[in-house]
Structure 1
């Protein structure tokens, strides 16, 4: 299911100069803010939870997911080079699965690790805040990668649509509108964080069983459908 050659090409595409620069900006900003808060305010559990929830989970993780998820396949479809990959004796499901693994790895590396470091900077993992939000970032990375990889296979405007989703739906509606929270990856991931941190510091409007089911369901369905779209794309290329 995993193809090293496809993985190498995908890493090269996702971590190209322009995308890599963007990938580093948000984690660096998070660490800078966390360091400044620790210096000027000192360790505070609630501030740590608010910053990691409001910036890391609500904005940084989905935005990095957009860059990694769409970047794993959208550029190849846009410039037509995907046809050469599809011409190789590699199963389409293997291509999608490999690209998903790369997108997940990149998203986790650029979101979960900085979240963990920022949490320790802010309050030394007091009340398990750093660990809780790191777990949230890890599970959210998987779902976002699958969603945005799918988006990259179905639209030539994947990045724009992904940014709208990340900034409008997740960061705005997913945080403020009660009805939208149930359909928010952010809220699903926070349900896990809520169970890890001290009670009252982190909240989610989605129960843990439902959150886990939705995370798994979205990841599986998005990955499967991306594979189906890629199969159709190959047939179109052959005609």
Structure 2
């Protein structure tokens, strides 16, 4: 287990991600989702269609990837940018341990600030009718895993990780995917929707990707992104960082 997780690295990463500025940003989107859910329930009442549209259109397509960008890139990117990673790399730790620990933290933060609020919002909106709350919460959780690995990798390989992550989340998945045929196949959001579709919301949740392919692609991005991040971190030499 010591090769897979380091509590000191985890504590420092949590502290960096939940600092004042990032903490406020991480809290804003879930708070907005819950506020809208309460208002919709009070003004409109329980509505399965509206619940699916809000959880799919806001929570899964916007909130989850944006929080993934913040947590994934923020887990290591700032340390590389300001050079403080040199102190971490000087410790007697395997670089795979550093990457895995930061991935665990990024996933935990993303799930806590996206999947949990999605579940709560679903219960507020329609009391989990047609398993919509659970379906979208599970989709948000599996999406969190893939987004965290993908954006953690970006944080290691480029100083422009946040910009690239935002372009992917807000342009590729939200815009390009709806214009170019087949583009949604390369969408974490669609892979997550395939999982949600399997769980519930018959007729209300649809994905452009089949469940089997979605699971395979989620696994490839998560495992492949984590492995690649570890390999790239190994190429960072202490001399080159100073």
Describe how 1:212-231 pairs up with structure 2 within 5 A. 212-231=215-234
Task: Quote how far apart the aligned CAs of 1:238 are.
Answer: 7.4
> Structure 2 CA distance, aligned partners of 1:196 and 1:83?
45
Is contact 1:174–1:187 with CA below 8 Å preserved after alignment?
Answer: no
Aligned to 2:24: 21
Describe how 1:1-239 pairs up with structure 2 within 5 A. 1-175=4-178, 177-234=180-237, 237=240
- Where does structure 1 lack aligned partners over 5 or more consecutive residues? none
Flag as ranges the 4+ runs of structure 1 deviating above 6 A: none
User: Taking structure 1 as the reference length, what is the TM-score of the superposition?
Assistant: 0.97
The 1:176–1:29 alpha-carbon spacing in structure 2 relative to 1, beyond 3 Å, is farther
CA-atom RMSD, angstroms?
Answer: 1.3
Range 197-206 or range 69-78, more displaced: 197-206
- Where does structure 2 lack aligned partners over 5 or more consecutive residues? none
Is contact 2:95–2:234 with CA below 8 Å preserved after alignment?
Answer: yes
> Structure 1 CA distance, aligned partners of 2:153 and 2:97?
15
Is contact 1:83–1:237 with CA below 8 Å preserved after alignment?
Answer: no
Cα deviations across residues 108-141 of structure 1 (Å, max 9, x unaligned)?
A: 0000000000000100000100000001000000
Is contact 1:174–1:186 with CA below 8 Å preserved after alignment?
Answer: no
Range 139-148 or range 166-175, more displaced: 166-175
> Structure 1 CA distance, aligned partners of 2:117 and 2:190?
20
Range 228-237 or range 153-162, more displaced: 228-237
